[in-house]
A and B are shown apart, each in its own frame.
Chain A
Amino acid sequence: QSVLTQPPSVSGTPGQRVTISCSGSSSNIGSNSVYWYQQLPGTAPKLLIYRINQRPSGVPDRFSGSKSGTSASLAISGLRSEDEGDYYCAAWDDSLSAWVFGGGTKLTVL
């Protein structure tokens, strides 16, 4: 069982907006930044969002992050077929003294 909880799957049609939730606790999301990673089929993970809501250079503004209390969310607007893949949230956990990940959410574009 992952320390951070994500829905196993989400889906949407092209152009739609979808959100992926990430639930944690006071020792991780509640007190530290949240990061999001995108893993397209057959590839290595890639940083998508850092420090809750910052986008690295090259990441489209269709991707946005937010945090409230011990939960975080990734929103993807204007859904495209190339967005299909797995999405992971991550945070440092003060109690475990370790980085923790969510179990991952598979995004399907119908």
Chain B
Amino acid sequence: QVQLMESGGGVVQPGGSLRLSCAASGFIFSGYAMHWVRQAPGKGLEWVAVITSDERNKNYADSVKGRFTISRDNSKNTLYLQMDSLRAADTAVYYCARDFMGFDPWGQGTLVTVSS
């Protein structure tokens, strides 16, 4: 079945960096755009970034533009999110999601905590 599994979360100091991964299975990964969406503790959903299937086009939320980079490796069926210059406000569960009739499905999420 279609599955997405995030990894790479953890605790990082303000100003630090972290790279998240999202391993895809059960579908032709190279045929779909992919998204990252985050959810701060006790808060709502916030779209972060999208990348097209061929990696030619990327788009970011204003809140992360210039600090986060979305990428993918279609040979490894894996989506990435490189997060630099992290701030406390970036603390959240980060979900990857396939672009299919909206965001479907979602991974289980990985928690990123930015704290000194």
Hey, which bits of chain A sit against chain B, CB under 8 A? 2, 35, 37, 44-47, 50-51, 54, 56, 86, 88, 90, 96-104
Contact = CB atoms under 8 A, between A and B. Distances in A.
Contacts of A99: 35, 47, 50
B62 A90 contact: no
Contacts of B46: 101
B95 A50 contact: no
A85 to B, nearest CB: 13
Interface residues of B, number: 20
B102 A47 contact: yes
Interface of B: 35, 37, 44-47, 50, 59, 61-62, 95, 101-109
Contacts of A56: 101, 104
25 contacts: A2-B44, A35-B102, A35-B103, A37-B45, A37-B102, A37-B103, A44-B95, A44-B106, A44-B108, A44-B109, A45-B103, A46-B106, A47-B101, A47-B103, A47-B105, A50-B101, A86-B44, A88-B44, A97-B59, A98-B62, A99-B35, A99-B50, A101-B44, A101-B45, A104-B44
